[in-house]
Every structure is written in C-alpha cells, then in structure tokens.
C-alpha cells in the first residue's frame, strides 16, 4: 500500500516516502483572516483534510501544520475602517473559520501557527538571509535578491520575463533587481509594526510561511500544499528563502496544489459579485453536502460549483444515509482499517470521485446483504470508508430530519425518473410529462443535461 502523489515540482506522480520513516510533516497555507472564508478557500482545507486522514492510516505520526495569517494589509484596512486593533478583526474571522471548517468536518490541524506569534523568528530568519548575502536592506525594506538563488523559477517553470510580469512586482527604485521581493517593510504609525534592526515594520507574506514551517516542522518538510494560485510567487519565494536560509538543503519534498473553484462556469470574484461564503452556504445546505460536493472532482482539476453539483452531493448523501438507516438494526463490525476499495483510489493521488463511487458500491451491498454477518460487515466497511472521507458524521435520523427527505423518497424519485427516461425514449411524451408533474408535486425539480437527468428538492 503506497501512496502516490502528483508532485508539482517534479511535474508528475511519484511514490510518497517520508524523510523519516513513520513520521510525516505537512504544511498547508491557511487563511488570511480579514473576512469569512469563501467556498474556494474551503477547497484546500477539505482536500488536505482527506490527505491528512489517509496519511494517518498509513503512518503512526503525522504532523500537520496549517497557519493563520493574522497580519496583512487587508486586515489592517478592515481594522482602520472599524476603528479597532487588527487583533479584533483577526480573532473574529479566525473563530468564524474554525466554525465553518468544523461544519465541513475538517479536522483541526496538529499545529495552527499564527504569524503574530512568530515575529522574532521571522526577523531572525531575515537576518540570516542578509548575513548570507541573499537579502539586503533598502530604505527601511529588506528584499530578497533573486539572482542570488540560481534555482529560482524551478517550481513554477516560468522564465524571468514571465515571473516579473506575473508577480505584478512593484518597480521600486531601491530594488537591485526587478524580481527582488519584500521580506520586511516599514510601517506607518497607523499600521501594525514591530521593532526590528531595520526600524519599525512588518513582515512580507512569503517569509512568514518559511519561518513557521521551519519552526514547527524543521528545515525539510515532506508535503507542502495550497491552491494553484500560490505556486507563483508565494511558494517559489518560500523555496528561495528557506533553501538559502538552510545552506541549500531541500525545503519541500512533495509540492501539492489544488485546482481552482469556479461558480456556475465563471471565475469567482468580487467584481462579478459571485463570491459564495461558506458561512452563508451553511444556512442553505448541510456542511456534509458542501464537503462532498468539494470532493466530487479530482483535487487537481478545476471544480465548477453549480446547483447540479450540490444536487448530486445531496443525493449521494441521501443514498449513503439511506443505507446506514437500513443497517441500523445491526451492530457494525469495527474494522481498524478502511476498506481497500475506498483507500485504494485515494492512494492514487487522492482520487476522491472514484473513492466515492466505491463507497456507494458498499452502500449497495448493504441493500442486498442477506445474513446478519453480511450486514454487520457492510456496516463496518461503510462507516470506515466514510470516515476516511470525513462523511457520515451524524445519525440517519439527524440527516433525514434536517433535509426533510427520507431514503424511500430517494428510491421512489429515482424510479420515477427512470420511468420518465424510458417514456421519452419510446416517444411517449404525455407519460413523460405526467411523471414530471408527479415529481413536481413532490417538490422535486428535474434538469435534463447532456449526462442525463438530475434532480433537486425545492422544498
Ligand atoms: P487566501 O486566504 O486568499 O490566502 O487563500 C487561502 C487558500 O485558498 C489558498 O490555498 C488559496 O490557494 C485557496 N483558494 C483561494 N481561492 C480559491 C479558489 N477559487 N479555488 C480554490 N482554492 C482557492
Ligand atoms: Zn504560505
């Protein structure tokens, strides 16, 4: 049983092997806490939560750190707008992030470092970079000198012109090279700041992650994750800083990046007005539905957040909870390990769509099992497989009570949809329309798409 992961820097899949046998270190870039998390921010949290669960099955010790960026210009602006210290904004949205992630069944990481608790260590790392000739002070700023690190650009595969254009780098007269980036910047009196050898200021974003990863996980870490937008410049800069601060030792062995989430085929952005906050979505749909929807696409692929996707997630959960309800009379055999059929696809670079299909297959065996032993075994497998994906965290009663559905409904609805498809195929449109109306009266709307008919509840 070996885990294979796609390593961004190797541009291909590799067998995963931790640096130290039996002990895995993983760092994931966490949220900047100036607002509620949107559904795109939830994707890395959920994807790397599944990876964390898989690693825990495979290794006795998994040290997972996911940071909180609690000093940032957007936080400062929010604090100025409200007339409160930055700590008030950061505490409010850190709490909201914890609540939202718990609602999505995301396990807390082992370590959750905050930037404001690491300023002395950040200053010390910058001093090491200056002393080694990789960074220099200029007008109250400290900059990393990119030409001092010949490997720069290896992760993102960009050439120099693309890097300079892509980073939207400020052209500042004090920079020795246009690609140089900020490690430390001066603060005006109304901005948060700390005393440093270069005057009162605050750290740049990239150095924070390098410092916190070093402090909590060591110089070389096994897995570093985040969204694909972080490959450049954030992770490229982390590599430059950490490698140069550690005398050339490797910083990260496996780089993993999740694809981006779109909303109804469009980029999610403030200017399009289509940003969906997890906090708001949770008023409309259960957290488990949101979680499962995020796992319906492979993590490296783009994910289109649509009404159909949520309907599919809801139906999948109705099926799983329906099977669990039918299994209520039996006591589950408690397997220590999740079933191979669910674990296997996850070992293959976290293939969650295939793992979910296998979980549904187990639910089907629960429907056809004959003896009590078979039922108990099916229940144990269903629960262990679901746990690996962070699903089936509540009782069937709680689930169906909340969604107002029940498992018989699901079977009946799907039987009616099949009958309608058959009627359409024999061009009996009167019957097809009659069935659609019957479903409408049950509060079910149908949507015919190129991949067949999907349905969702409207009440
Ligand atoms: P931020 O708080 O903006 O630093 O983002 C936190 C995490 O969310 C990072 O790993 C980002 O790459 C990720 N992220 C932001 N927007 C999206 C999106 N639309 N789809 C997927 N991941 C995203
Ligand atoms: Zn980071």
- On average, the pLDDT of the chain sits at 94
Ligand nearest to the CA of 236: 2
**Strand 61-66, strand 23-28: pairing:** parallel
Nearest by Cα to 122 from 113, 133, 112: 113
> Is the pLDDT score of 402 beyond 80?
no
Measured by CA distance, the residue closest to atom 19 of ligand 1 is 40
Name the residue among 280, 281, 290 with its Cα closest to residue 311.
290
- Give the number of the atom of ligand 1 that is nearest the alpha carbon of residue 303: 20
On the question of pLDDT at 346 being above 80, the answer is: yes
Q: Residues whose CB is under 5 A from ligand 2 (ion)?
A: 29, 209
Which whole number is the average pLDDT over 242-246? Answer: 98
Report residue 280: phi and psi, to 5°: -75, -45
Q: What is the Cα–Cα distance from 194 to 202, expressed in whole angstroms?
A: 6
Name which of 230, 253, 20, 213 is nearest 111 in CA terms: 213
Which atom of ligand 1 lies nearest, measured to the CA of 227?
Answer: 12
3-class DSSP state of 333: coil
Task: List pLDDT tens digits, range 376-395.
Answer: 999 999 999 999 999 999 99
If you average pLDDT over residues 211-240, what whole number do you get? 98
- For residue 300, how far is its CA from the centre of ligand 1 (angstroms)? 13
The DSSP secondary-structure symbol of 340 reads: H
- pTM of the complete model: 0.89
The answer to whether the beta carbons of residues 90 and 31 sit under 8 Å apart is no
Q: Taking 90 as the threshold, does the pLDDT of residue 116 lie above it?
A: yes
pLDDT for the residue 212 = 98
Give the model's confidence band at 451: pLDDT under 50 very low, under 70 low, under 90 confident, else very high.
confident
| Atom 17 of ligand 1, residue of closest alpha carbon | 40
Q: What is the pLDDT of residue 97?
A: 98
Looking at the CA of residue 267, tell me the nearest atom of ligand 1: 19
Q: Looking at residues 24-33, what average pLDDT do you find?
A: 98
Contact 61, 22 (CB under 8 A): yes
CA distance 323 to 346: 22
Q: What are phi and psi of 269, to 5 degrees?
A: -155, 155
Q: Please give all residues whose beta carbon lies within 6 A of any atom in ligand 1, as ranges.
A: 29, 31-32, 40-41, 43-44, 226-227, 229-230, 258, 260-261, 268
Does position 423 have pLDDT exceeding 80, yes or no?
Answer: yes
Quick one: residue 21, left, alpha or beta (phi over 0 = left, psi -120 to 50 = alpha)?
A: beta
In terms of DSSP H, where are the helices of 335-371? 340-347, 352-368
Residue 5 pairs in a beta bridge with: 14
User: What was the pLDDT predicted at 173?
Assistant: 84
- What are the E-state strand segments in 204-251? 221-227
The predicted-structure confidence for 82-107, as pLDDT tens digits, reads as follows 999 999 999 999 999 999 999 999 99
Percent of the chain, pLDDT > 90? 83
For tokens 């992630």, name the residue.
101
Contact partners, residue 150, CB within 8 Å, separation at least 6: none
Atom of ligand 1 nearest to the CA of 30: 6
Task: Note the pLDDT tens digit of each residue in 267-316.
Answer: 999 999 999 999 999 999 999 999 999 999 999 999 999 999 999 999 99
Q: What pLDDT does 403 receive?
A: 60
444-449 and 452-457 as β-strands: parallel, antiparallel, unpaired?
Answer: antiparallel
- Tell me how crowded residue 242 is: count the other CB atoms within 10 A of its CB: 26
pLDDT computed for residue 23 by the predictor? 98
Give the number of other CB atoms < 10 A from CB of residue 171: 7
CA of 4 to the centre of ligand 1 (A): 24
Distance CA(433)–CA(431), nearest Å, equals 5
């Amino acid at each position: 049983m070996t885990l294979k992961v796609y390593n961004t820097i190797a541009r291909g899949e590799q067998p995963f092997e931790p640096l130290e046998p039996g002990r895995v270190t993983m760092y994931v870039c966490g949220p900047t806490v100036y607002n509620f998390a949107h559904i795109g921010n939830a994707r890395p949290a959920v994807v790397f939560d599944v990876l964390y669960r898989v690693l825990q099955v495979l290794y006795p010790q998994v040290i997972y750190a996911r940071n909180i960026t609690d000093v940032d210009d957007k936080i400062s602006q929010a604090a100025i707008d409200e007339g409160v210290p930055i700590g008030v904004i950061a505490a409010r949205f850190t709490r909201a992030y914890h609540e939202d992630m718990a609602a999505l069944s995301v396990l807390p990481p082992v370590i959750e470092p905050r930037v404001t608790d690491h300023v002395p260590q950040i200053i010390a790392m910058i001093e090491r970079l200056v002393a080694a000739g990789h960074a220099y002070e200029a007008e109250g700023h400290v900059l990393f000198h990119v030409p001092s690190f010949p490997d720069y650009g290896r992760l993102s595969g960009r050439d120099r012109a693309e890097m300079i254009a892509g980073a939207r780098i400020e052209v500042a007269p004090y920079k020795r090279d246009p690609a140089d980036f900020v490690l430390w910047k001066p603060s005006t009196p109304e901005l948060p700041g700390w005393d440093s050898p270069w005057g009162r200021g605050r750290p740049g974003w990239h150095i924070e992650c390098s410092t916190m990863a070093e402090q909590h996980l060591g110089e070389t870490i096994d897995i570093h994750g985040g969204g694909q937008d972080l490959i450049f410049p954030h992770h490229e800069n982390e590599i430059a800083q950490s490698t140069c601060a550690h005398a050339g030792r490797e910083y990260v062995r496996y780089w993993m990046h999740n694809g981006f989430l779109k909303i109804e085929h469009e980029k999610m952005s403030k200017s399009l007005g289509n940003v969906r906050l997890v906090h708001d979505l949770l008023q409309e749909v259960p957290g488990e539905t949101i979680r499962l929807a995020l796992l319906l696409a492979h993590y490296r692929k783009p994910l289109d957040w649509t009404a159909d996707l949520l309907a599919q997630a809801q139906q999948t959960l109705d099926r799983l909870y329906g099977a669990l309800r039918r299994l209520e009379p039996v006591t589950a055999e408690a397997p220590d390990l999740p079933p191979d059929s669910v674990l296997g696809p996850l070992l293959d670079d976290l293939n969650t769509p295939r793992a979910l299909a296998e979980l549904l297959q187990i639910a089907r065996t629960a429907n056809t099992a004959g003896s009590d032993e078979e039922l108990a075994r099916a229940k144990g497998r269903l629960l262990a497989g679901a746990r690996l994906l962070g699903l089936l965290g509540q009782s069937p009663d709680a689930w169906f009570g909340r969604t107002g559905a029940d498992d018989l409904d699901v079977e009946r609805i799907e039987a009616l949809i099949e009958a309608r498809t058959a009627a359409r195929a024999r061009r009996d449109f009167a019957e097809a329309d009659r069935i659609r109306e019957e479903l409408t009266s049950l509060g079910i709307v149908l949507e015919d798409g190129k991949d067949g008919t999907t349905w969702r509840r409207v009440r």
